[in-house]
Amino acid sequence: MTHFVGWDVSVKETSVCVVDDAGKVVCEQKVPTEPDDIVVLLTSVGEDYVRIGIEAGPLSQWLVNGLTGAGLPVICVETRHMKALLRAQQINKSDRNDTRGIAQMMRVGPFKPVHAKTLAAQEQRMLLTSRKLVQRKLIDIESDMRGTLRNFGLKVGVVSTIGYEARIRHLVEGFPRLAAIVEPLLTVRRVMRQQFAVLHKMLFDTVRHDPVCKRLTTAPGVGAVVALTYRATVDQPQRFVHSRAVGAHVGLTPRRHQSGEIDYDGGISKSGDTMLRTMLYEAAQVLLTQSRHWSWLKAWGMKVAQRRGMPSAIVAVARRLAVVLHRMWTDGTNFRWGSEPGTAIAVA
């Protein structure tokens, strides 16, 4: 007899529900949120599992990789899709009702699976987010000191990163109390700059030794940060059948609203990974507004800018850049700056 399983994961315990092919509940139990404990429970219930469903969340990648390694058919389901289906099935929300709903969803099949990233992609993503966190906090400290000192008529003005600390000390020389207050902030800023440099070097070393990232950086506007963000987000390029699907995956395609006589396209969907979408937009902006190197991609973007304006052109180039990078990755080729006869160029 075949079985279908639903999980409702929390930090300490996971609710598990097993149903048969007729929808009858075979087992309902809570186990510690550990892959080994869940495998032991499922093995004791049966061995013929068709689908095991888990909602996407902070622990889902770890659990999916753990159970996949044990040979179980685990599927990670998109959060908003699962929420809508569970809301339609039940009135009262509880762990028991959620696990039953997920198990029935696995049995019937109306679910939208999402990709569970590999361990390498998770490590790359953590490096990117950690670097971004330190950078953001560093900017917050500098901006806070600028704004606070302005209340006393002390204007920092335009100053280099290296000369920032000396400028602050010079301004508070005649204010002993202010000097005592800003000293801990300057110490924190100094330490954060050192650790940011460590993370930044780690990022560049990762890109330097990764052949995929090195290939992606041959595209105009794409640097080390953009390349590693794309590498960590896409993770496995074969999960996209067509390269043009990547643009929609990161939310760079227009929304469409059609109902009766109403039919119009809105702004971009902004679905998918926010970090990658931001990086692609910045890369496209640099390509169109700052890059001095000619390429067919820039020429195409400037034509779009003449028709639709620069903001729309940047979004269009970002979408096409996502498509081109995927094609470069799957084909194992570098970016082709010119459009020589017979050269195939990916279309967004």
Percent of residues, the chain, with pLDDT higher than 70: 97
Q: What is the pLDDT of residue 91?
A: 66
DSSP class of 31: E
Residue 88, pLDDT > 90, answer no
Region 273-289: what's the mean pLDDT? 95
pTM given for the model: 0.85
All structural domains of the chain with their residue ranges: 3-114, 119-209, 213-331
Region 1-20: what's the mean pLDDT? 90
3-state secondary structure of 307: helix
DSSP class of 116: P
Residue 316: how many other CB atoms lie within 10 Å = 21
Bridge partners of residue 17, in order along the sequence:
6, 28
Q: Are strands 262-268 and 74-77 parallel, antiparallel or unpaired?
A: unpaired
Region 324-347: what's the mean pLDDT? 74
Q: How many CA atoms lie within 13 A of 329 on its CB side?
A: 26
DSSP class of 219: S
CB 250 within 8 A of CB 237: no
Domain 3-114 has CATH 3.30.420.40: yes
CA quadruple 6, 11, 13, 19: dihedral, nearest 10: 0
Model confidence pLDDT, tens digit, residues 31-85: 999 999 999 999 888 778 999 999 888 888 899 989 988 899 999 988 888 888 8
Q: From the centroid of its chain, how far is CA 229?
A: 8
By C-alpha distance, which of 230, 242, 234 is closest to 281?
230
**Alpha-carbon gap, residue 96 to 28, rounded angstroms:** 8
Q: How far apart are the first and last CA of the chain?
A: 46
Residue 312, pLDDT > 50, answer yes
Residue 341, pLDDT > 50, answer no
**Alpha-carbon gap, residue 122 to 91, rounded angstroms:** 36
**Alpha-carbon gap, residue 138 to 196, rounded angstroms:** 9
